[in-house]
């Protein structure tokens, strides 16, 4: 038998959580060290998987593990990675390790519980990206929900209880809709395997049921993405969550929704998806509203964290636009290239947004730890006082607005290049979002925080970044610049998977 | 022909429980106060012996006493449920009566008789037997509810339970006489045959009237709306361990007999009772969940929550279709009852632990529980997740199986109502969890948990997660037991 590398990646965090649970609570440094050390194992293994998938090609599922789980019901424990999920698990491991490291210096209360929950959260996220069985997928989808709920509710800001339950309720509504759709698919195809069900094409000839099941899944995923009008949980949850919680929430959890659309929505429901993109263009309209409206709302925010939260709505709208374009291309001739480009852009945007927004939330956390405020109006002129911080923020901010040479540029370029050829109207309106993004990043963040008059009396005692903050930020900056300069390996991997995916539709 | 010793072997679980109950009662009188602590363990030994006897009957399929009494896997399954529930409740009640009542031993004896009643009910194959077992179960339940004679709430609850119960029993008995009148037999299988032969000719109103009346009696036992009104008052007033027992053991018994009677005697009237059961199911879960939101006493809240759970389980009966989902839907109910047994007993055990430390059952007293005992808080969290139906927990798998049967028959509306109810239920469970995790305690003193309670918590917690993560053997058990 082969070494079950994916199972190891999946369950090492659980083992770590149990080990932390057994460590005496007083020994906080041991808990921190142990958790970080444990999180390095999946990180290393995800890198191994990355190179393995690069070598074998990302067009098919690799490292597949299949064991019957509840055979009375034909439920299997099925794991696998392809070119779309391999980068995502790497992102998950990467951000989790950084978050645990950063939290070691910022979380002082109930350290043990915090690390246990964080490791469980990591398991939940891995599980969603790795599962190839609907029930397994659903189980991990919900497992990730619970620790995040507690992380927000216990370690969050002032309004944490409201934010926590809102997050939980929204996601639960989405997931019960998804559960119903999963069961419907099962009774139509006789399998819980995502790939098999996709290959069979469920609900052939039963359009009404296909549409219902599609919307069941779509609701579950759209709430998680989140796209307008399901996004209202997000600003609250992000604003109240502790810094590392926001990083994971924006960096990984939002991707679960987009990943679901690519892994399940598109392959299982190509016709309904196409129908609601082209004939009744609800989905691209929602995408464009998310992009433009999200960016406009950012311009109106005075709370830095809330601003970045809304920027996620806007940036995830790009992902949805890319997926819409791919779905729209189905019955068009000669659009295969553009569809692949759009879908590559969407997948890539998930990763670059994960890195960039993760970094932005760290940046907010760093300033909030010092200033105990996030009100943009209270800052000004910090560039001279905190040059190091300014530099790091500037790189991240430019990456976020899509400056060429940084990570965000490529993904947005591909989304628009693809969408412009397939659904040009929406792409052109959506392009407005880029303008507004530049506006809120430069005007709101850079200008209000770093430029202008410096209040010596109030901020004279601010100190620049500590060593651990630099250690947290540098890997992110390197990733942004690295992908910006040389996106080829990532792009090749994504491309192999998206081509295979589109081929099967 | 079976000889007497064989018969004795076949009814071993029943007489072992009876002997154990008598033994506990006798020892209670003779042992004296300082050795009173032995009684629950003697009762547990009796239960252990009964469990072994039950398991030895696993592959038997026999009718005894002229068809009054049936031994099959379905009956054995419920014997196991009865023994498990009783055993865990006995463990959870060790030390509970300290300072509440001087009479401790009788509680265990009566509880054993209750378990006996459930095992009889599970094997009942004749209306007379059904009625007698239900009455044994009811009478012991009334007594145990009013067990704390110094506590006015407890005695009031006992009386209320008795009055409601007597009315429900009377109606049910009337329904049984109608069935007898229609078919000339009290044997369930015989009734089924007669009705099946007569279908098409003659009027159907007599059996249908009987169905409605039987549903009153059984609905009372499973606490389905609108026959649920006793539950909140009784749960609140009864000694908490017994409330826990009512919520799982008594409910399981109600479902056992509901399935036995409806699927053996009345399968040909499925089209008629389908609508009734569906309506009951929707009313039960919706009412239970909505009223639970407004509760301030955790036992009352759990009462409404257990009403709502009965509503979900009823979906399984509504989705019983001999052509499509027959066995599946029965096994879904059985699995659900098993998973729910551990989950709800676990939740009640946390309530017992808190009650013993704090003295009350107000939800507001759960503030800051995580700081007073993080294990209790974590356990309660898992139990509540299970009750909402969030994986990886047992009740989630139960719901999955039940919803699967409904989706298979394309009863989407029923599933959607149930799913919406699941979301509503999150609200009141969250009301407790919010206090447990996010609010500061009024009193920082740690809550100590006694060893027997720890054992119960460990077992229920492991099984709540285990019935989901290692669901396969339990689903197989439910499937093989789903023979009627």
CB atoms within 10 A of CB A376: 17
Residue B46 CA from chain centroid, whole number: 21
Structural domain containing residue A370: 269-505
Whether A71 and B419 lie within 8 Å, measured CB to CB: no
b or e along B193-212 (b: 16 or more beta carbons within 10 Å of the residue's beta carbon)?
A: bbbeeeeeeeebeebbebbe
* In chain B, % of residues over pLDDT 90: 65
- Chain B contact set for A164 (CB, 8 A): 438
Mutate to test the interface with A, among B389, B391, B433, B472 (most CBs of A within 10 A): B391
Q: Is A72 on the interface with B (CB under 8 A)?
A: yes
Dist. CA A488–CA B56, nearest whole Å: 67
Contact, A357 vs A319, CB < 8 A? no
Distances (CA, A) of A501 to A60, A82, A86, B410: 9, 10, 15, 31
E strand intervals along A41-158 = 62-70, 75-81
- Chain A contact set for B400 (CB, 8 A): 135, 179, 183
Which of B426, B471, B475 is opposite residue A172, by nearest beta carbon? B426
Q: Is B164 on the interface with A (CB under 8 A)?
A: no
Dist. CA B305–CA B223, nearest whole Å: 11
Complex prediction ipTM: 0.89
> Which residues make beta-bridge pairs with B43?
none
At B364, list the tokens.
Answer: 């507001």
Whether A135 and B400 lie within 8 Å, measured CB to CB: yes
* DSSP per-residue codes, A39-74: HHHHHHHHHHHHHHHHHH-TTS-EEEEEEEEEGGGT
Residue A391: inside a domain: yes
Whether A145 and B390 lie within 8 Å, measured CB to CB: yes
- The pLDDT tens digits of the residues spanning A446-473 come to 888 888 888 888 888 888 888 999 999 9
Distances (CA, A) of B362 to B151, B307, B355, B366, B434: 17, 20, 9, 8, 14
- The pLDDT tens digits of the residues spanning B443-458 come to 888 998 999 999 999 9
**How distant is the Cα of A226 from the closest Cα of chain B, in angstroms?**
19
pLDDT of residue B34: 79
> Which residues make beta-bridge pairs with A76?
A68
Q: Would you call the peptide bond into B226 cis, given omega within 30 degrees of 0 as the criterion?
A: yes
Looking at every residue in chain A, the average pLDDT score rounds to 91
- Chain A contact set for B403 (CB, 8 A): 179-180, 183
What 3-state class would DSSP assign to B245? Answer: helix
- The pLDDT tens digits of the residues spanning B306-319 come to 999 999 999 999 99
**How distant is the Cα of B403 from the closest Cα of chain A, in angstroms?**
8
- The pLDDT tens digits of the residues spanning B310-345 come to 999 999 999 988 887 788 899 999 999 999 999 999
Residues with Cβ within 8 Å of B359's Cβ and at least 6 positions away in sequence, in order, are none
Q: Is B5 on the interface with A (CB under 8 A)?
A: no
Whether A72 and B472 lie within 8 Å, measured CB to CB: yes
Residues with Cβ within 8 Å of A65's Cβ and at least 6 positions away in sequence, in order, are A4, A6, A7, A77, A78, A79, A80
Q: Is the pLDDT of residue A28 over 80?
A: yes
- Chain B contact set for A138 (CB, 8 A): 391
pLDDT of residue B202: 61
- Residue positions counted in chain B: 484
Rg over alpha carbons for chain B, rounded to the nearest Å, is: 21
Residue A482: inside a domain: yes
**How distant is the Cα of B471 from the closest Cα of chain A, in angstroms?**
6
Q: Is A213 on the interface with B (CB under 8 A)?
A: no
Q: Is the pLDDT of residue A131 over 70?
A: yes
- Locate the chain A residue with the closest alpha carbon to B469: A69
Whether A138 and B391 lie within 8 Å, measured CB to CB: yes
Rg over alpha carbons for chain A, rounded to the nearest Å, is: 22
Contact, B237 vs B153, CB < 8 A? yes
Residue A80: inside a domain: no
Q: Is B205 on the interface with A (CB under 8 A)?
A: no
Whether A139 and B407 lie within 8 Å, measured CB to CB: no
Which of A70, A142, A184 is opposite residue B390, by nearest beta carbon? A142
Residue A56: inside a domain: no
Residue A309: inside a domain: yes
Q: Is the pLDDT of residue B58 over 70?
A: yes
Distances (CA, A) of B111 to A250, B26, B40, B144: 54, 15, 10, 8
Whether B472 and A142 lie within 8 Å, measured CB to CB: no
**How distant is the Cα of B476 from the closest Cα of chain A, in angstroms?**
7
Whether A180 and B434 lie within 8 Å, measured CB to CB: no
**How distant is the Cα of A127 from the closest Cα of chain B, in angstroms?**
13
- Locate the chain B residue with the closest alpha carbon to A216: B416
Q: Is A138 on the interface with B (CB under 8 A)?
A: yes
Out of B70-74, B276-280, B480-484, least confident range? B480-484
Q: For residue A20, how many C-alpha atoms fall within 13 Å in the half-sphere facing its CB?
A: 28
Distances (CA, A) of B365 to A25, B244, B368: 25, 19, 8
Dist. CA B338–CA B325, nearest whole Å: 20
Residue A367: inside a domain: yes
Looking at every residue in chain B, the average pLDDT score rounds to 91
Q: Look at chain A and report how many structural domains it folds into.
A: 1
Residue A257: inside a domain: no
Residue A404: inside a domain: yes
pLDDT of residue B46: 94
């Amino acid at each position: 038998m082969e070494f079950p590398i994916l199972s190891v990646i999946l369950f090492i965090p659980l083992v770590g959580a149990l080990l932390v649970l057994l460590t005496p609570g007083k020994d906080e440094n041991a808990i921190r060290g142990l958790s970080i050390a444990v999180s390095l194992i999946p990180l290393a293994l995800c890198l191994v998987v990355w190179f393995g998938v690069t070598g074998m090609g990302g067009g098919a599922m690799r490292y597949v593990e299949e064991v019957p789980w509840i055979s009375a019901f034909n439920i299997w424990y099925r794991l696998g990675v392809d070119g779309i999920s391999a980068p995502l698990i790497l992102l998950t491991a990467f951000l989790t390790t950084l978050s645990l490291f950063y939290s070691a210096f910022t979380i002082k209360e109930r350290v043990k519980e915090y690390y246990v929950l964080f490791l469980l959260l990591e398991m939940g996220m891995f599980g969603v990206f790795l599962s190839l069985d609907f029930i397994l997928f659903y189980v991990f989808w919900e497992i990730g929900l619970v620790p995040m709920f507690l992380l927000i509710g216990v370690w969050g800001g002032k309004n944490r209880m409201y934010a926590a339950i809102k997050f939980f309720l929204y996601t639960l509504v989405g997931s019960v809709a998804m559960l119903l759709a999963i069961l419907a698919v099962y009774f139509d195809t006789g399998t819980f395997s995502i790939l098999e069900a996709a290959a069979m094409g469920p609900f052939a000839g039963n359009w009404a049921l296909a549409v219902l099941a599609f919307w069941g899944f779509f609701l579950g995923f759209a709430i998680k993405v989140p796209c307008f009008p399901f996004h209202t949980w997000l600003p609250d949850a992000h604003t109240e969550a502790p810094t590392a919680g926001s990083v994971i929430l924006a960096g990984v959890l939002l991707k679960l929704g987009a990943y679901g659309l690519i892994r399940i929505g598109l392959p299982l429901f190509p016709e309904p998806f196409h129908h609601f993109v082209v004939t009744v263009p609800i989905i691209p309209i929602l995408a464009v509203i998310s992009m433009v409206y999200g960016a406009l709302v950012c311009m109106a925010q005075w709370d830095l964290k809330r601003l970045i939260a809304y920027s996620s709505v806007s940036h995830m709208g790009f992902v949805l636009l890319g997926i819409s374009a791919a779905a729209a291309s189905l019955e068009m001739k000669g659009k295969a290239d553009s569809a692949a480009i759009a879908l590559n852009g969407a997948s890539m945007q998930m990763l670059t947004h994960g890195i960039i927004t993760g970094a932005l939330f760290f940046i907010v956390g760093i300033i909030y730890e010092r200033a105990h405020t996030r009100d943009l109006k209270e800052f000004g002129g910090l560039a001279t006082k905190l040059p190091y911080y300014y530099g790091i923020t500037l790189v991240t901010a430019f990456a976020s607005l899509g400056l060429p040479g940084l990570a965000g540029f490529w993904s947005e370029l591909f989304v628009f290049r693809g969408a412009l050829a397939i659904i040009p109207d929406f792409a052109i309106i959506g392009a407005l979002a880029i303008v507004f993004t530049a506006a809120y990043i430069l005007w709101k963040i850079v200008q209000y925080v770093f430029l202008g008059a410096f209040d010596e009396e109030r901020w004279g005692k601010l100190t620049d970044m500590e060593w651990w903050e630099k250690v947290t930020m540098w890997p992110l900056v390197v990733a942004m610049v690295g992908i910006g300069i040389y996106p080829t390996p990532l792009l090749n991997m994504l491309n192999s998977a998206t081509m295979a995916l589109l081929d099967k539709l | 022909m079976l000889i007497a010793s064989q018969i004795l072997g076949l009814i071993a679980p029943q007489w072992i429980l009876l002997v154990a109950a008598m033994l506990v009662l006798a020892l209670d009188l003779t042992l004296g106060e300082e050795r009173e602590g032995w009684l629950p363990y003697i009762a547990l030994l009796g239960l252990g012996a009964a469990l072994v006897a039950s398991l030895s009957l696993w592959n038997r399929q026999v009718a005894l006493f002229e068809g009054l009494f049936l031994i099959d896997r379905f009956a054995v399954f419920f014997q196991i449920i009865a023994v498990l529930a009783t055993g865990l409740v006995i463990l959870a009640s060790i030390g509970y009566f300290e300072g509440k009542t001087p009479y401790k031993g009788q509680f265990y004896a009566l509880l054993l008789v209750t378990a006996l009643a459930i095992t009889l009910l599970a094997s009942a194959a004749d209306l007379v037997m059904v009625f007698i077992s239900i009455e044994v179960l009811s009478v012991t339940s009334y007594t145990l509810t009013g067990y704390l004679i110094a506590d006015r709430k407890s005695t009031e609850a006992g009386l209320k339970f008795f009055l409601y119960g007597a009315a429900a029993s009377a109606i049910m008995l009337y329904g049984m006489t109608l069935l007898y009148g229609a078919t000339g037999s009290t044997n369930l299988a015989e009734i089924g045959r007669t009705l099946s032969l007569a279908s098409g000719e003659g009027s159907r109103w007599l059996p249908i009237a009987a169905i409605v009346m039987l549903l009153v009696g059984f609905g009372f036992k499973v606490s389905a709306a609108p026959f649920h009104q006793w539950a909140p008052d009784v749960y609140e007033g009864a000694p908490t361990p017994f409330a826990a027992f009512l919520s799982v053991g008594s409910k399981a018994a109600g479902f056992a007999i509901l399935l036995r009677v409806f699927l053996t005697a009345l399968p040909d009237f499925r089209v008629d009772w389908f609508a009734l059961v569906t309506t009951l199911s929707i009313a039960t879960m919706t009412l239970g969940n909505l009223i639970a939101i407004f509760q301030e006493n955790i036992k009352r809240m759990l009462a409404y929550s257990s009403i709502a759970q009965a509503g979900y389980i009823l979906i399984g009966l509504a989705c019983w279709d001999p052509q499509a989902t027959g066995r599946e839907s029965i096994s879904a109910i059985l699995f659900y009852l098993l998973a729910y047994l551990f989950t709800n007993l676990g939740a009640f055990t946390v309530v017992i632990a808190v009650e013993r430390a704090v003295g009350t059952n107000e939800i507001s007293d759960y503030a800051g529980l995580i700081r007073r005992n993080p294990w209790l808080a974590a356990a309660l969290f898992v139990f509540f997740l299970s009750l909402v139906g969030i994986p990886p927990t047992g009740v989630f798998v139960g719901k999955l199986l039940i919803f699967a049967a409904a989706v298979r028959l394309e009863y989407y509306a029923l599933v959607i109502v149930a799913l919406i109810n699941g979301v509503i239920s999150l609200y009141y469970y969250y009301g407790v969890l919010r206090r447990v995790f996010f609010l500061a305690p009024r009193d920082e003193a740690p809550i100590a948990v006694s060893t027997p309670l720890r054992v119960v918590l460990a077992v229920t917690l492991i099984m709540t997660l285990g019935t989901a993560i290692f669901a396969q053997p339990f689903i197989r058990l439910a499937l093989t037991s789903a023979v009627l």
